[in-house]
């Protein structure tokens, strides 16, 4: 594959990643957010595979495989199970209205494009729109975490944010050392597992609603 083709494909995948992110932000039900985040991880795995074929970097194949199994299948399944086990209300109740969240999302996207354009020489070295898209994904993940009321939403946000970091790292460095990537993935697995257990345990007292955690008990 020529460098130009790779650039186009990464750009296209970036657009689709942004689309899944918008779906996560606008999801009215937690299940839809989980499916969208799984689709996002699948796109990340495809991006890794594309970069692996382009650069001949075998580490990237390993990363694509790990992303596919862990982030596309296992973690969404865990989240799905938690939702089913908890028997909570499935509607997402954001802190601010979804329309406001979407407006904020537009501002974040435009800002990240603006910021990465002002980076100049750094931006020159990077393929296409990967950097602004990656920054936007990361920040939008944080937005999901900030606007979600339940711990589940924040897990989804963390997950999406991590996808953004992963995408940026991959596109910018054409593959980081394998050990770092595996470390990052392990962190996310641990975080999600710990949070899943926490949510299931904590539920008995506070119903896993973050809004209920605003008072100190002494």
Partner 1 sequence: MMTGERSLGLLLFEMTFLVLLGPLVTGTIQKIKARIQCRQGAGVLQPYRDLAKLFRKGTVQADTASGLFRLIPVLVLAATVAAGALIPVVRAGPPSFPLGDALLLLGLLALARFLTAVGALDAGGAFGGMGASREMTLAPLVEPVLMMVVFSTAVAAGTTELGALAAQRGTSWVLAWHAADFLGFAAMLVLLPAETGRIPVDNPDTHLELTMLHEGMLLEHSGPGLGCMLLASHTRQIVTLGLVSALFFPIGPANGADAAGLLLGVGAFAAKILVLASYLALVESSYAKLRLFRVPQFLGIGFVCALTALALRIL
Residue from 46, 98, 172, 182 touching partner 1 (CB under 8 A): that is 98
The residue among 18 and 86 lying less far from partner 1, judged by its C-beta, is 18
Shortest Å distance, C-beta 109 to partner 1: 5
Token pair recorded at residue 26: 């606008």
174, 203 contact by CB (below 8 A): no
Cα angle for residues 18, 208, 160 (degrees, 5° grid): 15
Q: How far is CA 197 from CA 5, 192, 208, in A?
A: 44, 9, 11
The residue among 143 and 195 lying less far from partner 1, judged by its C-beta, is 143
- What binding mask, one character per residue, do residues 44-83 give for partner 1 by CB under 8 A, x or -? ----------------------------------------
Cα angle for residues 107, 170, 26 (degrees, 5° grid): 35
CA-closest candidate to residue 47, choices 63, 26, 24, 27: 63
12 binds partner 1 (CB under 8 A): yes
The residue among 25 and 66 lying less far from partner 1, judged by its C-beta, is 25
Which helix (H) or strand (E) is 79 found in, with range?
Answer: helix 75-86
Residue from 110, 180, 206, 211 touching partner 1 (CB under 8 A): that is 110
The residue among 10 and 75 lying less far from partner 1, judged by its C-beta, is 10
- What's the CA gap between 147 and 179, in Å, rounded? 33
Token pair recorded at residue 194: 């710990």
- The tokens 């499916």 sit on which residue? 35
Give the binding range for partner 1 (CB under 8 A) out of 19-27, 69-77, 181-189, 206-214.
19-27
The residue among 16 and 182 lying less far from partner 1, judged by its C-beta, is 16
Residue from 1, 102, 190, 206 touching partner 1 (CB under 8 A): that is 102
113 binds partner 1 (CB under 8 A): yes
Q: How many CB atoms lie within 10 A of CB 19?
A: 14
Interacting residues toward partner 1 by CB under 8 A: 8, 11-12, 14-16, 18-19, 22-23, 25-26, 28, 98-99, 102, 105-106, 109-110, 113-114, 117, 128-129, 132
């Amino acid at each position: 594959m020529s460098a130009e083709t790779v650039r186009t494909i990464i750009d296209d995948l970036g657009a689709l990643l942004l689309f899944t992110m918008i779906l996560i932000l606008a999801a009215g039900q937690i299940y839809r957010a989980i499916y969208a985040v799984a689709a996002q991880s699948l796109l990340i795995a495809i991006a890794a595979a594309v970069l692996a074929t382009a650069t001949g970097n075998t580490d990237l194949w390993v990363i694509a495989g790990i992303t596919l199994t862990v982030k596309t299948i296992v973690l969404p399944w865990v989240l799905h199970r938690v939702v089913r086990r908890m028997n909570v209300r499935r509607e997402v109740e954001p802190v601010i209205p979804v329309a406001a969240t979407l407006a904020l999302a537009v501002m974040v996207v435009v800002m990240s494009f603006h910021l990465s354009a002002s980076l100049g020489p750094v931006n020159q070295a990077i393929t296409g729109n990967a950097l602004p898209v990656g920054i936007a994904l990361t920040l939008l993940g944080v937005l999901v975490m900030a606007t979600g009321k339940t711990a589940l939403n924040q897990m989804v946000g963390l997950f999406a944010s991590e996808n953004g970091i992963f995408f940026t790292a991959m596109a910018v460095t054409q593959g980081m050392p394998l050990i770092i990537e595996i470390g990052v993935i392990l962190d996310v697995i641990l975080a999600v597992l710990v949070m899943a257990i926490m949510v299931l345990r904590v539920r008995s007292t506070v119903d896993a609603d973050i809004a209920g955690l605003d008072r100190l008990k002494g």
